Chain A
C-alpha cells in the first residue's frame, strides 16, 4: 500500500472542489420566457433599463412566490387590484377605475386595457375573478379573512373581459383595504402549467419579472419593460437581493459597494452612516412601536388590570427622548397602535401622551401600587431582537417606581404565546411589544386587537365592539373613515394598547450607483422601483 500519494490527492481534490464550486452559477431558476410583450411598447420614449441594483436583506420574503402567502414583496412582480397612495388613499392598480353602487353592495371594477402578464397573457376579467377568489381561499391566503365568503362576499361576476363585479351581503366600504392586497395572478398560466410550476416561475404584470432564484441565497428580477405604466418602468434592468443574516456583513457589503441598498433597524448606525456621506431615502408610511396588555380586563392580570397603572406606563415614557436617542431623530411620538399618520381613519384627535412622570406617579399612587397588589411585578415579554429597546423603555417605568421584569423569548414561542392557538401558559396580564410596519388600512388589525372576537385578546369591551360594527356598516368610504376615527379615539382611551412612537422607514443607498428615487414611495418595493442611476 503506497500511502503518501494520498496527501497530494487530497489537496488536489480540495482544489477541484473549490474551482468547480466557483464556476457553478448561483442561480437555480432559469428563465426561458417568451418575449411577446412588444406590441404595447411601440411609442415608448423611456430609455431602456440598464445596470443592476443590488440589495441585502436579513430575512427573505422569497421562500415562496405565492403572493397570497408572502405579501411583503409581491408588489415587485404582481399588480394588485388596487393600490395605496402616499396620502393613504386608494387607487386602481390593474383597475382603471371602480364604482360602488348606491346601496354599497356592488363594486364594479374596470380593468386597464392592453395590460399583459410578462408571458404575454392578457390581464383580463377571468384572471381578476380567479385572483380574488383565490385570495379569499383560507387555505391559500394569509389575509383571506377579509374576503372570505362567510364574512361578507356574495359573488364575483365577470361582466366582460375588462369588467368584474363584486357583490357583498352588506355594505363594507373598508374592503378597499383588502382589494389593495389582492394580487392578480395569471389564471391562464396556472391552468396551463399548474399551481406548483407557476409559482416556481411566476408571470405577473408588475414592474419586475423573476429571472433567478436560489433558495435562501438570492433572488433576481428584471425590469418589465412592458409594464402598463410606462413611466413607472424601473431604470435598472436588474434588481437582485441577497439574504445576509449578519448585520455586520450587510454593513460591510454596503460599505464596499457589494450592495447598493441597505435597510437598517439600528437607527444609530443609520445616522452614523448618513453622517459618513451615505444618503438615506424615506419610504412608505410610518411604522408604530407600541405595546399591548394581554387579557387586561381580567382580575388576575395584576397591576395592569388597573387602567391607572396602564396610563402611568404611558405617561412615564419620554417619547421625545426616545425619538431623539433610540430613533436618532427618525421618529415622532406616537399615540396609537396601527395608527400612524396618514392611515385609514387617522384623526388629529389621537395625540401621543405627554411625558409626565409626576402624573404617572400620582396615577400609581391612586392605584395603591404596590401594596394593593399581591404580585406587584409587571412582566414584559419580547423577542431577543427587541430586547435592547424594551430594556430602555423599562428604565422609564422603573424611574416612576414600577417594578418591571423582562422575559426574552425566542421568536417562535413569542408568537405562539401571542394570541392564537392554545398558549402554552395562560398569558394573563403580560405585556407584549409590537413593532409594526403598518398597513395602509388598519381597520382589520384594529378589529383583531380591540374587539371581543379579535384573536389578540387585548380588549373585551362592548362599546368598542359596537363602534367597530358602526365602521363596517357605513355606506360610503368617507363615512366609514369618520366612524373609524371615532372608534380609534375610544379604544385609545382604554389603554390596552399604547403607542410609543411612529418611526419613519428609511434605507441607505450608495450614491456612486444610485442617483435617487423618482417613483412612488408608498412602500419599499415601490420606492426601489423608482431608483435612478447616479
Chain B
C-alpha cells in the first residue's frame, strides 16, 4: 500500500510539473499582457517600461526560473490586472468554489448511486425508463442552456428562488442543481450498467440462494462491488466538472475559481491563471489519489495485495 501511494504520489508530482510547464508556456505563447494593461495612448517606450516592470522582458526560461522559485516559496505573485496578491484572490475564490462543488459532487454521487442502483434493480420498469430518460436528457442538453432555463423558470417566472449570489441557502439550490445536472447523468448510467453486470454475477446468485431479502442482496452485496468501476470514473469526471463549475459560476454569478480563471485567461493575467491551474491540478490529482486509495477500501484485494 505504501509503495502504491508513493508511486502514485510521484506520478502526481510529474503530472503536476507537466501541467505547470504546459500552462506556463502556452500562456506566454498566447500573447503579452502588457499590451492589455497599457492604455491605448501609451508610447512604445512606456509599454517597454511596463514590460520590464512586470518582468515580461526576460526570456521565457528566466521567467520560468523566477516563477518556480517563488512557487517553491509559496508565493503566487501579484495579479497583473488587479494589483492584488494572487494568494489572496485564490483564498477568496477557492472556498466559494468548494462550497458549491463539494456538496454538488457528493449529492450527485449519492443520487447517481441511488438512482442507478434502483434502475438496475428494477430493470426495464417504468422507473428504469425514467432514469434512463433523465440520463439521456442530461447528456443531450447544453449545460449553460439548462442553467439559464432554470433561472428563467424558477426565478423569473415562478419567483421561487433568487437568480444569483450566494447569501442564503436558497441561493445554493439552482447552481447546485445545475452542477448536479452536469455530473449525474453520466454517473447514473455507469452505476446502472455496472450494477447490471454485478447483478449477473454468481455471488449475487449465491446471496439469493442464502435466502437473503432483495434489499440486502442489492445494497449490501451488489452495491459494494458496483462501486469499484464508477470510482475510477470519478477521477476522470473531475476535470469535466471544472468546466461545469466555470459555466455555473458564470451564470449564477458565483465568485469562484471558474470565474477567476475565465477572466484571468482572457486578460492574460499570467500569475492568476497559473495559480488557478496549479490549484486545480493539485485538487484533481489529489482527488484522483484519494480515489485510488479508496479502491482499497472498497476492494480488499487491492488493499491486501499492495501491502
Q: Which residues of A contact B (CB under 8 A)?
A: 1, 3, 7, 10-11, 13-15, 17-19, 21-22, 26, 28, 63-64, 69, 138-139, 142-143, 145, 214-217, 242-246, 248-249, 252-253, 255-256, 258, 410-413, 415-416, 418-422, 424, 444, 448, 455-456
Question: Which of the four size classes fits the interface of chain B?
Answer: 35 or more
Shortest distance from the beta carbon of B197 to any chain A beta carbon, whole Å = 22
Residues of chain B within 8 A of A248, CB atoms compared? 148, 151-152, 251
Shortest distance from the beta carbon of A50 to any chain B beta carbon, whole Å = 21
B131-180, CB < 8 A from A: 148, 151-152, 155-156, 159, 162-169, 171-172
Shortest distance from the beta carbon of A493 to any chain B beta carbon, whole Å = 24
| Residue B106 CB within 8 A of the other chain | yes
Shortest distance from the beta carbon of B109 to any chain A beta carbon, whole Å = 9
- A28–B43 touching, CB < 8 Å: no
- B95–A21 touching, CB < 8 Å: yes
**Which of B81, B102, B165, B252 has most A Cβ within 10 Å?**
B165
- A22–B169 touching, CB < 8 Å: yes
- B152–A11 touching, CB < 8 Å: no
Beyond A63-B83, A421-B38, is A17–B44 a contact (Cβ under 8 Å)?
A: no
User: Besides the contacts A3-B297, A245-B253, what 14 more A-B pairs have beta carbons closer than 8 Å?
Assistant: A7-B110, A14-B103, A15-B103, A21-B96, A22-B169, A64-B83, A142-B39, A242-B164, A258-B163, A410-B266, A420-B35, A420-B40, A421-B47, A448-B41
Cα distance A92–B172 in the bound complex, in angstroms: 48
Shortest distance from the beta carbon of A248 to any chain B beta carbon, whole Å = 5
- B98–A17 touching, CB < 8 Å: yes
Residues of chain A within 8 A of B39, CB atoms compared? 142-143
- B164–A216 touching, CB < 8 Å: no
Q: Can you list 25 pairs linking A and B with CB atoms under 8 Å apart?
A: A17-B98, A17-B102, A18-B103, A18-B172, A21-B99, A22-B172, A26-B167, A63-B82, A63-B84, A64-B83, A142-B39, A215-B84, A216-B263, A217-B255, A243-B253, A248-B151, A249-B163, A252-B155, A252-B156, A412-B36, A412-B267, A420-B42, A421-B34, A424-B31, A455-B43
A20: nearest residue on chain B (CB-CB)? B99
Cα distance A424–B30 in the bound complex, in angstroms: 11
Shortest distance from the beta carbon of A519 to any chain B beta carbon, whole Å = 28
A249 touches which of B34, B96, B253 (Cβ 8 Å): B253
Cα distance A125–B163 in the bound complex, in angstroms: 48
Cα distance A424–B297 in the bound complex, in angstroms: 55
Shortest distance from the beta carbon of B160 to any chain A beta carbon, whole Å = 10
- A256–B35 touching, CB < 8 Å: no
- A249–B297 touching, CB < 8 Å: no
Cα distance A245–B251 in the bound complex, in angstroms: 7
Beyond A14-B102, A412-B35, is A455–B41 a contact (Cβ under 8 Å)?
A: yes
- A14–B106 touching, CB < 8 Å: yes
B33: nearest residue on chain A (CB-CB)? A412
| Residue B75 CB within 8 A of the other chain | no
B22-62, CB < 8 A from A: 31-36, 38-44, 46-47, 49
Cα distance A514–B14 in the bound complex, in angstroms: 58
Residues of chain A within 8 A of B106, CB atoms compared? 10-11, 13-14
Shortest distance from the beta carbon of A212 to any chain B beta carbon, whole Å = 13
Shortest distance from the beta carbon of A386 to any chain B beta carbon, whole Å = 15
Residues of chain A within 8 A of B253, CB atoms compared? 242-246, 249
Shortest distance from the beta carbon of A243 to any chain B beta carbon, whole Å = 7
- B81–A420 touching, CB < 8 Å: no
**Which of B98, B107, B163 has most A Cβ within 10 Å?**
B163
Shortest distance from the beta carbon of A245 to any chain B beta carbon, whole Å = 6
Shortest distance from the beta carbon of A456 to any chain B beta carbon, whole Å = 7
**Which of B35, B83, B102, B148 has most A Cβ within 10 Å?**
B35
- B95–A242 touching, CB < 8 Å: no
Shortest distance from the beta carbon of B27 to any chain A beta carbon, whole Å = 12
| Residue B207 CB within 8 A of the other chain | no
B233-282, CB < 8 A from A: 250-253, 255, 259-260, 262-263, 266-268
| Residue B89 CB within 8 A of the other chain | yes
- A456–B163 touching, CB < 8 Å: no
B50: nearest residue on chain A (CB-CB)? A139
Cα distance A39–B172 in the bound complex, in angstroms: 46
Cα distance A258–B31 in the bound complex, in angstroms: 38
Residues of chain A within 8 A of B152, CB atoms compared? 248, 252
Cα distance A248–B150 in the bound complex, in angstroms: 11
Task: Bits for B270-307, please: 1 = Cβ < 8 Å to A, else 0.
Answer: 00000000000000000000000000010000000000
- B259–A216 touching, CB < 8 Å: yes
Shortest distance from the beta carbon of A225 to any chain B beta carbon, whole Å = 27
| Residue B92 CB within 8 A of the other chain | yes
Cα distance A28–B168 in the bound complex, in angstroms: 18
Q: Please give me the 5 A-B residue pairs with the lowest Cβ-Cβ distance, nearest first.
A: A416-B35, A14-B103, A21-B99, A142-B39, A217-B255
Cα distance A255–B164 in the bound complex, in angstroms: 12
Cα distance A13–B38 in the bound complex, in angstroms: 46
Shortest distance from the beta carbon of A487 to any chain B beta carbon, whole Å = 18
Residues of chain B within 8 A of A21, CB atoms compared? 95-96, 99, 166, 172
Residues of chain A within 8 A of B165, CB atoms compared? 242, 258
- B251–A456 touching, CB < 8 Å: no
Residues of chain A within 8 A of B33, CB atoms compared? 412
A255 touches which of B43, B102, B156, B297 (Cβ 8 Å): B156
Cα distance A255–B163 in the bound complex, in angstroms: 10
B151 touches which of A3, A252, A418, A448 (Cβ 8 Å): A252
A447: nearest residue on chain B (CB-CB)? B41
- B41–A145 touching, CB < 8 Å: yes
Residues of chain B within 8 A of A1, CB atoms compared? 297
Beyond A14-B103, A216-B263, is A413–B156 a contact (Cβ under 8 Å)?
A: no
B296: nearest residue on chain A (CB-CB)? A1
Residues of chain A within 8 A of B262, CB atoms compared? 245
- A216–B255 touching, CB < 8 Å: yes
Residues of chain A within 8 A of B259, CB atoms compared? 216, 245
Cα distance A256–B162 in the bound complex, in angstroms: 8
Residues of chain A within 8 A of B92, CB atoms compared? 28, 214-216
A416: nearest residue on chain B (CB-CB)? B35
Beyond A14-B107, A252-B163, is A420–B44 a contact (Cβ under 8 Å)?
A: yes
Shortest distance from the beta carbon of A192 to any chain B beta carbon, whole Å = 21
Cα distance A163–B119 in the bound complex, in angstroms: 82
- A245–B44 touching, CB < 8 Å: no
Cα distance A421–B98 in the bound complex, in angstroms: 40
- B266–A411 touching, CB < 8 Å: yes
- B46–A138 touching, CB < 8 Å: yes
A216: nearest residue on chain B (CB-CB)? B255
A412 touches which of B49, B93, B250, B266 (Cβ 8 Å): B266
Residues of chain B within 8 A of A138, CB atoms compared? 46
Shortest distance from the beta carbon of A491 to any chain B beta carbon, whole Å = 18
B88: nearest residue on chain A (CB-CB)? A215
Residues of chain A within 8 A of B103, CB atoms compared? 14-15, 17-18
Residues of chain B within 8 A of A412, CB atoms compared? 31, 33, 35-36, 266-268
